Amino acid sequence: MKNMPVFDKVTPSLLEAMPYQYAGKDINVCIETEEFTCLCPWTGLPDYAYLVINYVPAKTVVELKSLKMYFQTFRMVGMVHESAVNRIMDDLVKAVKPKNMSVELEFGIRGGITTTVSAEYHKRQRRGCIEA
């Protein structure tokens, strides 16, 4: 591990990328956990979410232990749901540079309301003329 988690701030430096041995061969990587938590920024109460990440790797994949440690750094951070999904997406895209990725968080019922937030990333294709 690069370093240990700090529990009062999100720590993307914990994320480690490993070489994808089959670069050029598209596969879907699906990661799921029921252990994602952050704090409601207004009440300080914990928000619990079911998290699903799907991505197609380009040259690297995320190392799972580092991902779990990264998720733990959200535990004591006040963050609205929409910010959490975007932060995870941004940090993972920066770490593994996938061809595409989706992140979805389904937050548990609070006050009779369940919230699901999602974000998607698609690597931009180069524009220009195609040579024959």
Q: Could you tell me which CATH number the domain at 12-122 has?
A: 3.30.1130.10
The answer to whether 30 is a known catalytic residue is no
Q: Please give the pLDDT value at position 67.
A: 98
CA–CA gap between residue 61 and residue 107 (Å, rounded):
26
Catalytic residue among 38, 40, 90, 91: 40
**Structure confidence by residue, pLDDT tens digits, 77-105:** 999 999 999 999 999 999 999 999 999 99
Catalytic residue among 47, 90, 91, 129: 47
Model confidence at 114, in pLDDT bands (50, 70, 90)? very high
Q: Please give the pLDDT value at position 63.
A: 98
Q: What is the CA radius of gyration of the chain?
A: 16
The answer to whether 38 is a known catalytic residue is no
For the chain, domain boundaries: 12-122
Rounded to two decimals, what is the model's pTM? 0.89
**Structure confidence by residue, pLDDT tens digits, 5-38:** 666 799 999 999 999 999 999 999 999 999 999 9
**CA dihedral sign of residues 84, 86, 91, 93:** positive
By 3-state DSSP, what share of the chain in percent is helix, strand and coil, each rounded to 5? Answer: 20, 40, 40
CA–CA gap between residue 114 and residue 66 (Å, rounded):
28
